[in-house]
Amino acid sequence: MLRAARWMLITGVLVSGQPFGRPPALRNIGLDQHLDAQVPLDLVFKDESGRDVRLGDLIRDKPVILSLVYYQCPMLCNMVLNGELHAMRNIPFELGHDYDAITVSFDPTETPKLAADKKATYTERFGRTEPMKSWHFLTGSETEIHALASTVGFRYAWDDVTKQWAHASGLILLTPAGKVSRYIYGIEYPKQDVRLALVEASEGKIARASDQILLFCYHYDPTTGKYGLAILNTLRAAGSATVIALGAFVFTMLRRDFRGRNI
């Protein structure tokens, strides 16, 4: 294949507030921690049946798991939703009773039909229809999507070469008042992390900023290798930084132990 979709794990080592060594293709992509940000509750999207729904009517008396994907994504978005579903099936809380879930497509060209098809897929996998009424799959206009995405720190970009979106992955926990409580990065969400995040969000607690491990979905032409080479260099740099840090730690501990023995 001349073009291929790739995902890559990039550690969030920060230098002067910027991700260390991130390739140019991914520098405008990310999931920034806008903790305590108030989600605009007056935004109006369309649900999977095509009806207009106000975001504030979906975020009410329960914490919410928010995910931003696009329904025609060939790879990473499905992994995000699969990970979310797995967590939901394993935590000791009931969807619709203890918490709600909202998935929003950040592609303004996608339709409620695509949202309905995606919801049907995950309803079947979840195995229970009634709780899935509280997992909302939304689409919207570019203005509404941008307002929500910018509020929660979700940065994405259109790749005009491959006609697909480049984006990061993760879940965003919201309080019942619609404030950003916590981020869980990646595509696998440990049940203990999701459980704790829901408990904190339900109590209106705002977590502290955590280290980021971002999983990116991006696209490149293997005949040029431009993105691939940049990613490889990034991983080499991050790996070297990790080795240096570990080496310094071991040296410090050995030196301290040596001094202790000679006192």
DSSP secondary structure of 126-163: H--HHHHTTEEEEB--HHHHHHHHHHHTEE-EEETTTT
Supply the pLDDT for residue 17: 41
pLDDT class for 13, splitting at 50, 70, 90?
Answer: very low
Supply the pLDDT for residue 8: 44
Supply the pLDDT for residue 22: 56
Contact in structure between 215 and 187 (CB atoms under 8 Å): yes
Lowest-confidence segment of 2-6, 46-50, 113-117, 179-183 by average pLDDT: 2-6
Residue at 245 is within a domain: no
Residue at 254 is within a domain: no
Looking only at the bridges linking them, the beta strands covering 52-54 and 44-46 are antiparallel
Residue at 186 is within a domain: yes
Residue 226 has pLDDT above 70, yes or no: no
Residue at 242 is within a domain: no
Residue at 238 is within a domain: no
Supply the pLDDT for residue 24: 59
> For residue 167, which of 225, 219, 115, 231 has the smallest C-alpha distance?
219
Residue 218 has pLDDT above 60, yes or no: no
Residue 230 has pLDDT above 50, yes or no: no
Query: Into how many domains does the chain fold?
Result: 1
Q: What is the pLDDT of residues 80-125, one digit of tens each?
A: 999 999 999 999 999 999 999 999 999 999 999 999 999 999 999 9
Which pTM was predicted? 0.76
Residue 31 has pLDDT above 50, yes or no: yes
Residue 166 has pLDDT above 60, yes or no: yes
Q: Provide the residue type at 205 as one letter.
A: K
Contact in structure between 99 and 66 (CB atoms under 8 Å): no
Three-state secondary structure call for residue 50: coil
Higher-pLDDT residue of 60 and 211 is: 60
Residue at 263 is within a domain: no
Supply the pLDDT for residue 93: 97
Residue at 146 is within a domain: yes
Residue at 226 is within a domain: no
Q: Provide the residue range defining the domain that includes 131.
A: 4-220
Q: What is the CATH number of the domain that holds 89?
A: 3.40.30.10
Supply the pLDDT for residue 48: 97
CA 112/CA 51 separation, integer angstroms? 9
CA 169/CA 165 separation, integer angstroms? 12
Token output for 146:
């941008």
Supply the pLDDT for residue 9: 45
Task: Give Cα 129 to chain centroid, integer Å.
Answer: 25
CA 166/CA 145 separation, integer angstroms? 16
